[in-house]
DNA sequence: GGCGTGCATGCTCATATGAGCAGATGGCCG
DNA sequence: CGGCCATCTGCTCATATGAGCATGCACGCC
């Protein structure tokens, strides 16, 4: 064998074969005739070309997904399921795609939840909007954390839950309480209230949860809503907070950043999320990578809906090898 | 039928099917099971996805070619053959790729020419360099236009022909004459010379020609070589010259731009190129689109080796429809 | 309401393709 | 120089796939 030369010759042959096969739709037999090799060799050349990444197959569609990343995420973090959408350049677009994907997931998720616990926020609202009317039948919805009653945009939290329920022909049960109370006593009192307590109880019994997460910075809805001030956030960040999950600020370790604040936060606890069968996290965009990592690495969600970049960021964690070694016989471009 | 909805649903299905088929290497049958449709529907979904361009298959390799464009070029301009390489961003790279492609073509061209007529220039020199040693056996080479004896880089023209011949184990016959003579009489005299005349005669008998073309501007090798001055070029451009073919400046109409100058130009005539069985034009890069068009539309070459952009420029000619309707039953991705 | 008409569907069958295997080839080392 | 090992090659056979066809279904037209 003449290593260098014949290898190069083979590569060129592989390119020609690939062109004829994929661009001209010729059969391997025909290609064999053209290139003067047997059809088996053509098959092998094509296999090589795919392995070496000479042939690039891409699925271009806004609704496309990244199944390999989904598989890797599920495996690495022990998720029940993952949905990864290709990241568009534009961040607005990205949020829209992730929300759509979450809506798609919800529509096709089985078993259909009898009662769905939802949080609120910009992302969740988009998910609600992306759901088609009649996406399911008789799915009731319950809010799992305090609403945004002080908000400049009143009713958003309520509107999200109601929209999701309406579109499934179900009832929405709202949590009539602020997200964070100023005094612990007030929080306890409200919690003890029949209505609020009843809703919380109902929320604990939901068969699935759908939520997003916020970043620990002043762009947070909590600041917008007046529950927290910029200095509050600064203090949280100092204590290592990376973001909030259903109103509760957590650190990269997955622990509560400020127990005192957390005690004044009304709604489902993190443990309920962790222990639920189905808790769907919808999250996308660069700023949220840190929160997403905290949530995912600490088992707070069982289903992750996100974008490609976030997925890669999660997988590119430093501590372990992030060798992509798919379980399938699929393309092996990284061999080069 | 519910047009919009079911069409969209089909599209989404098609995307999912494509992902599973091309990214996960599942069989259509398995995909059918997953998506709850029959395997035949999966096949049809995939076909649709390919048609609609949802699935994009690309062959990424410096030596890749654009067979669809080649086919279109051949059909439109009645070429015997065409070679189109994907255009790299970089212009230097582009020239290299085109030259390589020409070398490849020469190597695999059948019947092997007994005697190959070549011109000279930067492009041709690159082709010569790209040819592998021993690319053929006993192919003799003859120059078809006057050499660059006044050049600042003496011997380039000769080196090109000699290199091509050497690498094929053949003899090179050089044309010992300037490209353009100052006086018609001198030209006639030289032409009449036994040696020169003999070479020209030999050139007329070549079984194939390989040449490139120059642009009608001051970057021309003719200016470099001192055969023409900047004002000469300006005058040629005024007369509509778009470039030169083996030393002869032509207009977009394929006619000689300046008959007086042409009469003083020594070498093969355009008619000989036009009437030859095999005349291979190697040309690439934006500046040369106009010359390329003049040559190709007026039958001066039977084989065209070029880059993708030039190919498209030639096909996107305004006067006629450039509907791509290949004669084969091949892929129809270009319908988009 | 009856009846084409056009399209999607599920099938049969021929063909294309990939897995796995036995033999050939050619370099390499003793 | 001969044997050994690794690789490549061409094959058989099972499987995957696409072409073509009959059917079913919904719609529009009379």
Q: Is B330 on the interface with A (CB under 8 A)?
A: yes
Per the structure, the residues numbered 10 to 69 in protein chain A that have their CB within 7 angstroms of any atom of strand D are 37-38, 40-41, 44
Q: How far apart are CA B10 and CA B23, in angstroms?
A: 19
Minimum CA–CA partner of B20 in chain A: A67
pLDDT at site B326: 42
User: What is the number of other CB atoms lying within 10 angstroms of the CB of residue A125?
Assistant: 20
Give helix then strand counts, H and E, for chain B. 15, 11
pLDDT at site A324: 41
Chain A nearest-CA distance from B79, in A, is 19
User: Is the separation of the CB atoms in B312 and B69 below 8 Å?
Assistant: yes
B93-120 pLDDT, tens digit each: 999 999 999 999 999 898 999 999 999 9
pLDDT at site A286: 94
Q: Which domains, from first to last, does chain B contain?
A: 4-51 (1.10.10), 67-335 (3.40.50.1360)
Is B40 near strand D, with its CB below 7 A from some atom of it? yes
- Mean pLDDT throughout A165-173? 93
Percentage of chain B beyond pLDDT 90 is 71
**What rounded mean pLDDT belongs to chain B?**
88
Asked if A65's CB is within 8 angstroms of B331's CB, the reply is no
- Give the residue nearest to nucleotide C11 (CA to C1'): B40
The size of chain B, in residues, is 336
Q: Is B57 on the interface with A (CB under 8 A)?
A: yes
In the predicted model, is pLDDT for residue B47 greater than 80? yes
Question: Which DSSP string corresponds to B208-267?
Answer: EEEE-EEESSTTSHHHHTTSS-HHHHHHHHHTTEEEEETTEEEETTSSBS-HHHHHTB-B
* Range B157-193 burial, b when 16+ CB lie within 10 A, else e: bbbbbbbbbbbbebebbbbebbbbbeeeeebeebeee
| Rg of chain B taking only CA atoms, in angstroms | 25
- Mean pLDDT throughout A98-106? 95
The size of chain A, in residues, is 336
> CA torsion sign, A34 to A40 to A44 to A46?
positive
pLDDT at site B325: 42
pLDDT at site A327: 41
Q: Find the Å distance, CA of residue A10 to C1' of nucleotide C29.
A: 28
User: Is the separation of the CB atoms in A307 and A87 below 8 Å?
Assistant: yes
The residue among A2, A11, A12, A24 with the most chain B CBs within 10 A of its CB, best to mutate, is: A24
- What are the backbone angles phi and psi of residue B102, rounded to the nearest 5°? -65, -40
Tokens of A217: 């910075």
Which residues in chain B are closer than 8 Å to A11, comparing Cβ atoms? 61, 63
In the predicted model, is pLDDT for residue B328 greater than 70? no
Is A235 near strand C, with its CB below 7 A from some atom of it? no
> B 202-231 residues with CB below 8 A of A?
none
Q: Is A37 on the interface with B (CB under 8 A)?
A: no
pLDDT tier, A2 (very low <50, low <70, confident <90, very high otherwise): very low
A181-233 pLDDT, tens digit each: 989 999 999 999 999 999 999 999 999 999 999 999 988 888 887 888 999 99
Is B54 near strand C, with its CB below 7 A from some atom of it? no
A11-61 pLDDT, tens digit each: 889 999 999 999 999 999 999 999 999 999 999 999 999 999 999 999 999
Q: Is B12 on the interface with A (CB under 8 A)?
A: yes
Tokens of A183: 């005094």
Q: Is B8 on the interface with A (CB under 8 A)?
A: no
pLDDT at site B329: 38
A270-329 pLDDT, tens digit each: 999 999 999 999 999 999 999 999 999 999 999 999 999 999 999 997 654 444 444 443
pLDDT tier, B133 (very low <50, low <70, confident <90, very high otherwise): confident
Q: What pTM does this model have?
A: 0.80
In the predicted model, is pLDDT for residue A102 greater than 80? yes
In the predicted model, is pLDDT for residue B300 greater than 80? yes
Higher pLDDT, A155 or B192: B192
Chain B nearest-CA distance from A117, in A, is 27
Q: Find the Å distance, CA of residue A45 to C1' of nucleotide C29.
A: 31
Q: Is B55 on the interface with A (CB under 8 A)?
A: yes
B61-98 pLDDT, tens digit each: 989 999 999 999 999 999 999 999 999 989 999 999 99
In the predicted model, is pLDDT for residue B148 greater than 90? no
In the predicted model, is pLDDT for residue B332 greater than 70? no
In the predicted model, is pLDDT for residue A83 greater than 90? yes
Of B18, B54, B330, the CB nearest to A25: B330
> B 78-107 residues with CB below 8 A of A?
104
- Mean pLDDT throughout B309-327? 68
pLDDT at site A328: 40
**What rounded mean pLDDT belongs to chain A?**
88
């Amino acid at each position: 064998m003449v290593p260098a030369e014949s290898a190069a010759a083979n590569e060129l042959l592989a390119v020609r074969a690939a062109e004829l096969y994929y661009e001209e739709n010729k059969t391997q037999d025909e290609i064999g005739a053209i290139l003067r090799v047997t059809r088996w060799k053509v098959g092998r050349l094509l296999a090589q070309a795919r392995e070496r990444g000479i042939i690039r197959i891409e699925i271009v569609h806004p609704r496309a997904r990244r199944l390999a990343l989904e598989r890797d995420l599920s495996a690495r973090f022990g998720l029940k399921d993952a949905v990864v959408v290709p990241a568009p350049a534009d961040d607005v677009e990205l949020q829209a795609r992730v929300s759509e994907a979450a809506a798609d997931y919800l529509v096709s998720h089985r078993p259909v939840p009898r009662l769905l616990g939802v949080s609120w926020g910009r992302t969740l609202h988009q998910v609600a909007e992306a759901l088609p009317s009649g996406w399911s039948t008789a799915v009731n919805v319950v809010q799992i954390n305090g609403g945004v009653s002080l908000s400049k945009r009143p009713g958003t939290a309520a509107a999200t839950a109601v929209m999701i329920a309406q579109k499934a022909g179900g009832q929405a049960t709202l949590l009539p309480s602020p997200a964070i109370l100023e005094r612990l006593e007030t929080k306890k009192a409200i919690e003890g209230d029949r209505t609020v307590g009843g809703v919380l109880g109902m929320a604990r019994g939901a068969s699935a949860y759908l939520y997003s997460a916020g970043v620990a910075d002043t762009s947070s809805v909590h600041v917008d809503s007046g529950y927290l001030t910029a200095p509050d956030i600064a203090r949280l960040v100092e204590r290592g907070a990376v973001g909030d999950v259903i109103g509760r600020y957590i650190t990269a370790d997955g622990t509560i950043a400020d127990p005192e604040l957390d005690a004044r936060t009304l709604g489902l606890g993190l443990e309920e999320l962790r222990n639920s069968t189905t808790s769907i996290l919808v999250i996308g965009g660069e700023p949220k990578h840190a929160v997403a990592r905290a949530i995912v690495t600490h088992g707070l969600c069982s289903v992750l809906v996100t974008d490609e970049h976030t997925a890669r960021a999660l997988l590119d964690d430093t501590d372990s090898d992030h060798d992509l070694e798919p379980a399938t016989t699929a393309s092996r471009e990284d061999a080069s």
